[in-house]
Amino acid sequence: MAEHFAERRYLINFDTRRLGQVFTDVLVIGAGVGGLRAAIEAGTKANVVLVTKDRLADCNTAFAQGGIAAVTGAGDSVDAHITDTFQVGCGLGDGNVIGLMAREGPSCIEEMVTWGAKFDVDNGAVALGMEGGHSARRVIHALGDATGRELGRVLSLRAAECEAIRLFENCFVLDLVVRDGRCIAAITHHEKYGYQIIWAKQVILASGGGGRLFRETTNAESATADGHAIAFRAGAKLRDLEFFQFHPTALYVAGASRALISEAVRGEGATLVDREGRRFMTEYHPDAELASRDVVSRAILKQIAATSGTSVFLDVRHIGPARFAERFPNIARLCRDFDIDVARDLIPVRPAAHYMIGGVAVDIDGRSSVDGLLACGEAAASGVHGANRLASNSLLEGLVFGKRVGRMAADLARQQPGDKWPQTLSHTIARSPRTELDLSDVRNSLRALCWRNVGIDRTGDRLRETIEIVDFWGRYVMDKVLEHRMGWETQNMLTVARCLAFAALAREESRGVHYRSDFPETNDNDFLAHITIERGSEGISIERIQSHRGDGPHPR
């Protein structure tokens, strides 16, 4: 019988004797802020191979507009940042991990400045913005609304200066090789060198998220949850997959890709109005437009339904076109491209999938349940975000834990005796007799299904329907050996969508970004806990692990 889903171990047939051989101390998969920072740190002590499936600049980091949260101003404190992060996480954040990130944040910002980052200034000091969920102005930004791009630029240059780092762009990681409980290699396909096996003493997964699982998303084309899928197939535990953050304000123009309209726009005073021009967020939450993202997203959907519209609108007219263009140059340019005059017109927006909170379950040092496999950034469930991510904490998490995980991987690699490489390994999948489906059609249908059934508002019936439909597609897609990126991404998306639906089905409550209209209340008695998923011999194995992190933040 052909393998499918939980039983599927590798995506392709291979024999290591026929693959190109690459050897390194540390392999870093992904070149966003977390992956780059991990590679730079590991490269101070070990040889590093850094792989990314596109060009270096083509990742979600470059899409991050709003900024990076860190305590640098008077009237703010590390303890306040910890408390804000924990409160937005609805009791599931890890106080120790949050405390570590908040305390190390300021030094990471100083390091980036030393390396050449050009953060915006106001009267000689770093300019600080306000965003939803924060109790003080602590969001640092660069080039107005291009913070992620600036961090990526600086880190890329720094990595290029490190002789210990070897970069493979346009290199797709298909699977991880685990032997005797330890991750020892990755099978890859490079556009120039073809199939390869990269042997490594330690592997860091920093592959980003999976916004492309949903029809409406702000994410880059590359965000197809590949890292989550390969970790799952390798036997690693995944945690908190049900928590997927939807950004409230993506530019909505019918027929065009969704583009992020940063939360910082609302932080500068923009208001949300419905199609009748009426401001409505004051009716949903005392913090109005600066409520947490899950609250604003659900309010927008309710208002769209109540007014029979397709979007709501951001009103930025009172900010003034000159000030708006100075503060948000890329958003201003985007609006002009769609003939939206910010001095006169309202900006149409609606929610879109934005950030994958769940990921590979890791400890405070980034170590997963599989020896030799570490993870950081959006690919990891570090415990920072709990059930909801505080705005602009993601870039900070990437810097802090990328550095920490890179150091840990290099130290572990140095302690590890030299492996006998290469090993002879092979895998064969029987040829499937089933018909082939149109992968583009499956992919588009999957994204529409996830948006409809696993999006902002969920129910048990729709989640079970999702699993049933994905299982059907899986019988005709997961049984095939495909030889191209579209196929591998589609297989990964089906795998992770199925895991996500199972996790959301298991959490019979509403908490943070996970909202079940059939279980609308938060249930601390049963669900102050984490849902973990891993690959089992009989299918997906789901466990509910009670959290001991809900007593509050522990800053010291």
| Residues tagged active-site | 293
Coil, strand or helix at 123: coil
Question: What residues contact 6, with CB distance under 8 A and at least 6 apart?
Answer: 535, 536, 538, 539, 540
Query: In Å, what is the CA distance from 70 to each residue of 67, 108, 245, 390?
Result: 10, 9, 21, 12
Residue type, 57: A
Distances (CA, A) of 194 to 28, 120, 222, 455, 492: 19, 43, 19, 37, 20
Q: Largest Cα–Cα distance in the chain?
A: 70
Which of 85, 21, 28, 87 minimizes the C-alpha distance to 403? 28
CA gap 145, 509 in Å, rounded = 36
Helix (H) or strand (E) segment spanning residue 331: helix 329-337
Question: How far is it, in rounded angstroms, from Cα 29 to Cα 22?
Answer: 14
Nearest-CA neighbor of 484 among 195, 208, 169, 59?
A: 195
Query: Whose CA is closest to 355, among 232, 214, 173?
Result: 214
Q: Is 466 in contact with 449 (CB distance < 8 Å)?
A: yes
- Give the sheet arrangement for strand 128-129, strand by strand: 68-69, 139-140, 128-129
Residue found by looking up tokens 């007219």 in the block:
317
Rounded to an integer, what distance in angstroms lies between the CA atom of residue 128 and that of residue 107?
A: 16
DSSP 202-265: EEEE-----GGGSSSB-S-TT-S-HHHHHHHHTT--EE-TT-EEEEEEEE--TTS--EE--HHH
How many other CB atoms are found less than 10 A from the CB of residue 550? Answer: 17
CA distances from 323 to 123, 318, 342, 358, 359 (A): 16, 10, 11, 37, 39
Q: How far is CA 528 from CA 386, 520, 522, in A?
A: 10, 15, 9
CA–CA separation, 249 vs 263, rounded Å?
A: 8
Angle, CA 227 vertex, CA 224 and CA 229 arms, to 5°: 80
How many residues in total does the chain contain? Answer: 556
Task: Find the helix packing angle between 485-506 and 226-233, rounded to 10°.
Answer: 80
